[in-house]
Amino acid sequence: MNDAELQAWIERISQESFGIPFRHRARFNPRLRSTGGRYFLKSHDIEINPHQLEANGLDEVEKIIKHELCHYHLHLQKRGYQHRDPEFKALLAKVGGSRFCSHLPTTVKPKRRVEPYRYELRCERCGTSYKRKRRMDPRKYACGKCRGRLELFLLKTT
């Protein structure tokens, strides 16, 4: 499913479940990790986590969409759109949206890229070593143990 299909799906759900059209932008955001979707107060756009679609299917994502549409419609009507508001809770129950997002299984989450250490700062006085992933100016820092001068070395990368 692409962004255009998601846009049409959200517009259809909005019309069928709320009786009000969705007039803003909807898109997938694969960078979302801890949430199924989000609603933006300033732009009124909605983003959906595509990993939820892969892990939990269309039914669960439809509940997430209804949840975000509750925020959307209540906010535009200047009513209680926050999770704690009784109006939000009542509308969410009425349309059958999910209160909480199903957690993603660990197999679906992409692996984090581990950067190797590329630099080493070494104290000239006591020999303490500090490994770093990014280059830094040793003149701006001192050893944390003895306050001695630091020397920068480039580590061998394989």
How far, in Å, are 54, 116, 131 from residue 71 at the CA level?
A: 24, 42, 46
Retrieve residue 119's tokens: 């630099």
Any catalytic annotation for residue 68?
A: yes
Catalytic residue among 11, 54, 68, 151: 68
**In which order are the strands placed within the sheet that holds 150-154?**
129-132, 119-123, 150-154
Is the distance from CB of 117 to CB of 129 less than 8 angstroms? no
- Catalytic site positions: 68
